[in-house]
Structure 1
Amino acid sequence: MKYRADIDGLRAIAVLMVLLFHGGITWFPSGFIGVDIFFVISGYLISTIIFHSLKLGNFKFSEFYARRLWRLQPAIVVLLFATFGIATVLYLPLDFIDFVKSAKYTALLTSNQFFERTTTGYAVPDTGQLLLLHTWSLSIEWQWYLLMP
């Protein structure tokens, strides 16, 4: 698939929306719209990749999933190590145990299910200390990869 500047432009807009939301800019509460844009872009790109491979007759589930894992896992591993270090230093024992549970679900790309059960909402005050809460969207994306092909 050739480079698409328009898709990168949409990504930039989506990132800006998420950053404004997390930066507390209240005049344009757009963080969730930015995440929705990411989901649409991802769905489009994955669909295009799958349909192109099917058209060429060389689509393989194993290769599809390996490419997706190699794309996501390195960043997730770095994130887990960094947040583990932060949690080790800053968290009290009970908070650290909760962090380790969230890290396990993040590593398995199912953190959306964990946080759905353990929080009252995404942007509520009691979630400010959850270092891995933002990984819920990656988990949803990966779960979509499991269903899409």
Structure 2
Amino acid sequence: MITLPTPNLSHPKYRPDIDGLRAIAVLSVVTFHAFPTWIKGGFIGVDVFFVISGFLISTIIFESLDKGTFSFAEFYVRRIRRIFPALILVLSACLAFGWMVLIADELNQLGKHIVGGALFASNFVLWSEAGYFDNSAETKPLLHLWSLGIEEQFYILWPFVLWFFWKRKFNLITLTFLIAACSFYLNLRGVKKDPVATFYLPQNRFWELLCGSILAWVVLYKKMHVKALD
């Protein structure tokens, strides 16, 4: 059992509106996969989820840096507690089921996907498999973990980036805009040259999470300016 001292990180208040957006995003993706001809473009729910994730995580980091209470250890322990229980359950269930029903080659592929999921590298694993001889999506029960991989890669890198530039008194919203613009440019250029890599690689997707970061900064500091005026 991992124990922590008195919490230092900020913790955003419960937002029912954000939970509602999460529900809409999840339902749109699930419905799209179940009835692709009925709801076209439902996959945009993943993009909505990325923006929400960027907003929530960046709110925590911005507030904690301002208060001087940011803790890398506490930040990552929170992420572990939130993600690993459900992830371990899913990976274990898939492994147990695969062990009983899959042939050797299929089990080998599943094992590779389980390792990729556990290491938050599913997007890289799936990208490496893409091509003419790739298996169909229906044979990949852990295909959905590509988005978790991108989220976790963002969660690993973004706190270090913000902390590094915050220590050097760099304007964090300017930094966020610059990185988001670079990522968006890579996305636009990559769609034409290599759409598969653009879909899976984090540098082409981070701009979506960073849009949430920009929203977090605006919401947070707009409130602070209003309080200062009052």
TM-score relative to the length of structure 2: 0.61
CA contact (8 A) 2:32 2:38 kept: no
Question: What does 1:1-149 align with in structure 2 at a 5 Å threshold?
Answer: 1-120=12-131, 126-149=136-159
Considering only aligned residues, what root-mean-square deviation do their CA atoms show, in Å? 1.7
Post-superposition Cα deviations, 1:84-138, rounded to whole Å, max 9, x if no partner, equal 11111121111101111111111111111001111349xx981201111111111
Unaligned residue ranges in structure 2 (runs of 5+): 1-11, 160-230
Distance 1:66 1:120 in 2: 37
SS at match of 1:105: helix
**Secondary structure at 1:26 match in 2:** coil
Preserved CA contact (<8 Å) 1:106 1:139: yes
Report SS of the residue matched to 2:59: helix
Q: Is the 8 A contact 2:25 2:48 kept in 1?
A: yes
* Deviation of 1:15 (Å): 1.2
When structure 1 is superposed on structure 2, of 84-93 and 22-31 the one drifting more is 22-31
- The letter of the residue matching 1:81 is S
Between 1:77-86 and 1:28-37, the stretch displaced more is 28-37
Task: Flag as ranges the 4+ runs of structure 1 deviating above 6 A.
Answer: none
Structure 1: stretches of 5+ with no match in the other structure: none
SS at match of 1:128: helix
Q: Distance in 1 between matches of 2:142 and 2:124?
A: 13
The alpha-carbon deviation at position 61 of structure 1 amounts to 1.3
1:64-93 deviations in whole A, cap 9, x for unaligned? 111112211111100111001111112111
Change in Cα spacing, 1:22 to 1:125, as seen in structure 2 (3 Å) is farther
